[in-house]
Amino acid sequence: MENLTAKAYELRKDILDMIYRGKCGHIGGDFSVLDILVTLYYKQMNISPELVNDPKRDRFILSKGHSVEALYAVLADRGFFPKEDLLTYSRYQSKYIGHPNNKINGIEMNSGSLGHGLSVSVGMALAGKMSKASYRVYTVMGDGELAEGSVWEGAMAGGHYHLDNLCAVVDRNRLQISGSTEEVMSQDSQDDRWASFGWNVIHAVGNDIIALDKTFEEAKSAKGKPTVIIADTIKGYGVSFIENSAPWHHKVPSEEEYQKAVIELEARRKASYE
């Protein structure tokens, strides 16, 4: 099997390049969510460039759409569009903008207005149940996003309709643009809150692809209720001076910071083979 941990460090370099060239981006959340996306797109989901219009394909919604650079990097590497397209990120008239754009091959819907992804995913999963389709629906939310009331309307509906073909993931990095999630809007027990809406709740080490793969397999075995995976991640994972730093939620590296990050990512990539 391909070393997906090494792959994730390679893709972090692609993300870093995009943000450095484009002079904008959400690098902290990109780096925290990337291992989740790698696990889904390389191991778990029935999706490929050849299946983008196949009604049997699995569906994915990046509800925390501001982390789109991570999704672009994965889609390009999987061949949904030429990798050279990433060079146009954030350029004038480019379709590769700062939130998911469904004009791009492989992106199901525009997102980025926080709180919408779960409800749309509920609709997709319910449609699958009504048509007796085999596909699964996945969505990834940020933990700061959970302050949006529409998230909990979606959670209520998902539990009510027993959507066991739906899997939501919370990128639980505990930081958002203005600081700690617990300071901005305390989240008490994630487990109790989701369970009260009729969800199966699982925790995972969110920057460990092997652990995530096992957790997604566990989610597939849950019957009669949707599953939420609380993925405990590190914001900015992969570069030490970016990790666990709220200012790096939306920040462009200087040339010196860029070079330091490149060196560290390459060192970690090599170490993943040892």
> How far is residue 105's CA from residue 26's CA, in Å, rounded to a whole number?
22
pLDDT above 80 (res 188): no
* Average pLDDT over every residue of 112-124: 95
Contact 137, 59 (CB under 8 A): yes
- pLDDT band at 179; cut points 50, 70, 90: low
Residue pLDDT, tens place only, 222-243: 999 999 999 999 999 999 999 9
Residue pLDDT, tens place only, 9-63: 999 999 999 999 999 999 999 999 999 999 999 999 999 999 999 999 999 999 9
* Average pLDDT over every residue of 155-184: 88
Q: What is the mean pLDDT of the chain?
A: 95
Residue pLDDT, tens place only, 68-91: 999 999 999 999 999 999 999 999
pLDDT above 90 (res 173): no
pLDDT above 90 (res 124): yes
Say what the pTM is: 0.96
* Average pLDDT over every residue of 121-126: 98
Question: Looking at residue 1, what is its pLDDT?
Answer: 47
